[in-house]
Amino acid sequence: MRASDRAADSLRPIHFEPNVSKYAEGSCLVQFGDTHVLCTATVEQKVPSWLRDSGRGWITAEYGMLPRATAERTNREAARGRQTGRTQEIQRLIGRSLRAVADLEAMADLQVRVDCDVLQADGGTRTASITGGWVALHLAFQRLVKLGVLGAIPLTDHVAAISCGLADGEALLDLDYLEDLSADADANFVLTGRGAIVEVQMTAERKTFSEEAMLQMLVLARRGTDELVSLQRQTLGLE
């Protein structure tokens, strides 16, 4: 048993609360244990300038964290006048992950902005953001279909993400903040509903690692994202 009192391959309690925003076209409050992220999807009639007249749409993401989402307060990025490298790295990852399962041709001239704002952070904020962001995006597309703006939801699959780590040679699923701090390595996997790979990011934090360890983490991640995809389906009433 791990510090967090979970089996190596078990997720934290996961909860999706859809439609939490009065205004956003799609929204979802996602909880991976004590990590809480508010995801909203905003539909705009205007694509970035480099896509204009291309017949394609676009999906982009922004990420932020409230100053006291963490145990130690961090300075507000707006007050410091710039987003950190970490923030930019995460929001680029969220955007790429969502676009990987979208049919941009079918979204012609529409852009969806997915905002992922971390209300409370206990590890895994980027994976919660991707997984909850997909739900918000799906809800926004549902609304566009209902309004007749789109004929069908332009998503080719689910996308879900989960972290893994290595501790004393053992692979662990869905690290919380304390586990992440002491892990020898950590990894983030973004997978589709059918199990295909969208993104993998693996980093040796304290120790380099082997191909075998990498494959063990992938097995756990697949188990985790299968479970997340199933919860996404329940949340959206898809089954």
Rounded to the nearest whole angstrom, what is the least distance from the CB of residue 135 to a copy of itself in the complex?
Answer: 15
Rounded to the nearest whole angstrom, what is the least distance from the CB of residue 42 to a copy of itself in the complex?
Answer: 4
Nearer to a copy of itself, 21 or 235 (CB): 21
Nearer to a copy of itself, 114 or 231 (CB): 114
Rounded to the nearest whole angstrom, what is the least distance from the CB of residue 109 to a copy of itself in the complex?
Answer: 17
Rounded to the nearest whole angstrom, what is the least distance from the CB of residue 27 to a copy of itself in the complex?
Answer: 8
100 φ, ψ (degrees, to nearest 5):
-65, -20
Contact 15, 8 (CB under 8 A): no
CA pair distance 81, 122, nearest whole angstrom: 25
Binding interface with a copy of itself (CB under 8 A): 21-24, 27, 34, 38, 40, 42, 44, 62, 64, 66-71, 73, 76-79, 81-89, 91-92, 96, 100-101, 113, 115, 117, 119-120, 122, 157, 192, 196-204, 208-211, 213-215, 218
Nearer to a copy of itself, 105 or 234 (CB): 105
Q: How many CA atoms lie within 13 A of 104 on its CB side?
A: 17
Nearer to a copy of itself, 82 or 146 (CB): 82
Q: Tell me how far the alpha carbon of residue 214 is from its chain's centroid.
A: 21
Rounded to the nearest whole angstrom, what is the least distance from the CB of residue 228 to a copy of itself in the complex?
Answer: 16
DSSP category for residue 65: E
Q: Which of 92, 97, 174 is nearest to 134 (CA)?
A: 97
Nearer to a copy of itself, 151 or 168 (CB): 168
Distance from first CA to last CA of the chain, Å, rounded?
33
Rounded to the nearest whole angstrom, what is the least distance from the CB of residue 217 to a copy of itself in the complex?
Answer: 10
Q: Which of 197, 206, 114, 205 is nearest to 162 (CA)?
A: 197
Q: For residue 169, what are the β-bridge partners?
A: none
- In which element (H, E) is residue 92 found? helix 85-99
Nearer to a copy of itself, 78 or 152 (CB): 78
